[in-house]
């Protein structure tokens, strides 16, 4: 799997969806009863790991804030510069990593420094951060010492298993290194001491293993990793449990925290968990509507919206399209109607478990289906180069019925990427949705032109 892209290779490793070592199986997600689906951050994070086989935001700039601004700032362009143990370097290369990604160039020297340094880092799926902190943990372990030395917290057992897979693969030339999973369903005898070097698990179970059951001596932990901090604090109880675990650790324990976003609540949490940190942030590139032609179609009913959609498909050639609906019910109906018309349709539904969603997205990405019908929640994080048209069958609104401008930008932004011109069509079927559209126009200061889908000549012009 030789490739020049560290991040691409990491994602291929992180995309393994099988249970690790038969420890525990992934449970199906219970069906959601609320038709307007609520975002499940943990599921979304797992989905992103499974689907991001290409790094689309690899132009992001990295901002480094050192705890000591007077110390020299080191970065590396190769893994040899890190002076890794030979078995670890062998593991890195065996996974197909030839050189560090942009964020690793700065993060790895800090994470592997002597004496150890603490780090708070912003990183999305696709930046290679999992393999980076795995490398840090494996570097600190003394195999001859048969007790837990590194502790990694994940918000869910599915995410813990993903990280565990990377640990197993990167450490495969260190057969004496052992890994334990502190997750529900992994039963141990009371009073038993764990001899594995690395423990990865969810906060509640790890807390029990450290305090009540005493399987782990927290005073011997050298490296503490808290992954997916933004997901962690969105889960009831995880924030307090994580802080309680951190307070049991020795003062010289290295603390590493990672989060995809850094809103105020995440910062407050990070500062409680990680004292005296170095900080790495990603400067996200601004999404723009400059390369996207936007139109709206006036309709009186759902059936008219569907007919307008058929007219568009009848007049122009569309490589691949994403169609967004407000509810699962509408999405299912629309997918069925499009299938009857002979279209190759994929449906993303909230009832699917994460692995099923990832499989649907992968088929769409490979071009096996040409149309992806989805609600907003299911489709976050999807980047498909061939998408040339985005259709808002329903305009995006928040829970109060106001325009959701950020979601609008993310939705139609998918079609103007990779230097190509994109096309976005909005279906308007009421005074209320016309008002939503007008407010979206005002917000972005971009005119959205009316399109008459009964006029085939007019439709053909928009494709040119």
User: Around Cβ 276, how many Cβ atoms within 10 Å?
Assistant: 9
CA distance 17 to 49: 10
Angle 41-51/157-170 helices, nearest 10 degrees?
Answer: 30
Q: What does residue 123 show for φ and ψ, rounded to 5 degrees?
A: -160, 130
How do strand 278-283 and strand 61-65 relate by DSSP bridges? antiparallel
The pLDDT of 433-452, averaged and rounded, is: 95
427 band by pLDDT with thresholds 50, 70 and 90: very high
The pLDDT of 184-200, averaged and rounded, is: 89
In b/e form, how buried is each residue of 110-134, taking b as 16+ CB within 10 angstroms? bbbeeebbbbbbbbbbbbbbbbbbb
What digits encode the pLDDT tens for the residues 50-65? 765 443 344 567 788 8
pTM: 0.68
- Residue 67 has a pLDDT of 80
Percent residues over pLDDT 90 in the chain: 54
215 band by pLDDT with thresholds 50, 70 and 90: very high
- Residue 124 has a pLDDT of 67
22 band by pLDDT with thresholds 50, 70 and 90: very low
- Residue 57 has a pLDDT of 40
What digits encode the pLDDT tens for the residues 355-371? 888 888 889 988 999 99
End-to-end CA distance of the chain: 40
Tokens (6 digits) for 178: 């052992």
Angle 102-111/129-140 helices, nearest 10 degrees?
Answer: 20
User: Around Cβ 279, how many Cβ atoms within 10 Å?
Assistant: 20
- Residue 354 has a pLDDT of 78
Alpha carbon of 263 to those of 148, 230, 366: distances in Å?
A: 32, 8, 35
The pLDDT of 306-333, averaged and rounded, is: 93
CA distance 464 to 457: 11
What digits encode the pLDDT tens for the residues 238-262? 999 999 999 999 999 999 999 987 8
Q: How many H helices and E strands in the chain?
A: 16, 15
Q: What does residue 275 show for φ and ψ, rounded to 5 degrees?
A: -80, 145
393 band by pLDDT with thresholds 50, 70 and 90: very high
Beta bridge partners of 225: 152, 256
Tokens (6 digits) for 272: 């409680």
User: Around Cβ 414, how many Cβ atoms within 10 Å?
Assistant: 22
User: Around Cβ 255, how many Cβ atoms within 10 Å?
Assistant: 21
**Burial bucket for residue 16 (CB in 10 Å: 0-12, 13-18, 19+):** middle
- Residue 208 has a pLDDT of 95
**Residue-range domains of the chain with CATH:** 6-283 (3.40.50.300), 292-462 (3.40.50.300)
CA distance 396 to 273: 36
User: Around Cβ 254, how many Cβ atoms within 10 Å?
Assistant: 23
Percent residues over pLDDT 70 in the chain: 84
The pLDDT of 205-223, averaged and rounded, is: 96
Average pLDDT, the chain: 84
377 band by pLDDT with thresholds 50, 70 and 90: low
285 band by pLDDT with thresholds 50, 70 and 90: low
- Residue 13 has a pLDDT of 36
CA distance 15 to 10: 8
């Amino acid at each position: 799997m030789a490739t020049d892209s560290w991040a691409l290779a990491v994602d291929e490793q992180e995309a393994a969806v099988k249970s690790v070592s038969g420890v525990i199986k992934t449970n199906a997600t219970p069906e959601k009863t609320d038709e307007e689906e609520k975002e499940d951050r943990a599921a979304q994070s797992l989905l992103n790991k499974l689907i991001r086989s290409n790094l689309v935001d690899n132009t992001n700039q990295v901002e480094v804030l050192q705890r000591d601004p007077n110390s020299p700032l080191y970065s590396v362009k190769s893994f040899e510069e890190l002076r890794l143990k030979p078995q670890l370097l062998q593991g890195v290369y065996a996974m197909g990593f030839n050189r560090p990604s942009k964020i690793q160039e700065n993060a790895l020297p800090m994470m592997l420094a002597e004496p150890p340094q603490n780090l708070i880092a912003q990183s999305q799926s696709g930046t290679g951060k999992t393999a980076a902190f795995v490398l840090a943990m494996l570097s600190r372990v003394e195999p001859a010492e048969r007790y837990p030395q590194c502790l990694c917290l994940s918000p869910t057992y599915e995410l813990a298993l993903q990280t565990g897979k990377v640990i197993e693969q990167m450490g495969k030339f260190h057969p004496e290194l052992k890994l334990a999973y502190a997750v529900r369903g992994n039963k141990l005898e009371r009073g038993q001491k764990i001899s594995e070097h690395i423990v990865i698990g969810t906060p509640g179970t790890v807390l029990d293993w450290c305090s009540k059951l005493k399987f782990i001596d927290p005073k011997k932990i050298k490296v503490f990793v808290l992954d997916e901090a933004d997901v962690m604090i969105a889960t009831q109880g995880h924030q307090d449990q994580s802080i309680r675990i951190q307070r049991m650790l020795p003062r010289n324990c290295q603390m590493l925290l990672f989060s995809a976003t850094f809103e105020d609540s995440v910062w407050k949490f990070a500062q409680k968990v990680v004292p005296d940190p170095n900080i790495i942030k990603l400067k996200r590139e601004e999404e723009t509507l400059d390369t996207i032609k936007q139109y709206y179609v006036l309709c009186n009913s759902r059936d008219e919206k569907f007919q307008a959609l058929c007219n568009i498909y009848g007049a122009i050639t569309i490589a691949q399209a994403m169609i967004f609906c407000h509810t699962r019910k509408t999405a299912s109906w629309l997918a069925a109607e499009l299938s009857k018309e002979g279209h190759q349709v994929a449906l993303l539904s909230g009832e699917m478990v994460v692995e099923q969603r990832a499989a649907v997205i992968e088929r769409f990405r490979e071009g096996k289906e040409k149309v992806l019908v989805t609600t907003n929640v299911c489709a976050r994080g999807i980047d498909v180069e061939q998408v040339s048209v985005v259709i808002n069958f329903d305009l995006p609104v928040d829970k109060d019925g106001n325009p959701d401008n950020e979601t609008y930008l993310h939705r139609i932004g998918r079609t103007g990427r990779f230097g190509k011109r994109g096309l976005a069509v909005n279906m308007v079927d009421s005074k209320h949705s016309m008002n939503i559209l007008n407010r979206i126009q005002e917000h972005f200061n971009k005119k959205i032109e009316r399109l008459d889908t009964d006029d085939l000549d007019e439709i053909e012009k928009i494709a040119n």
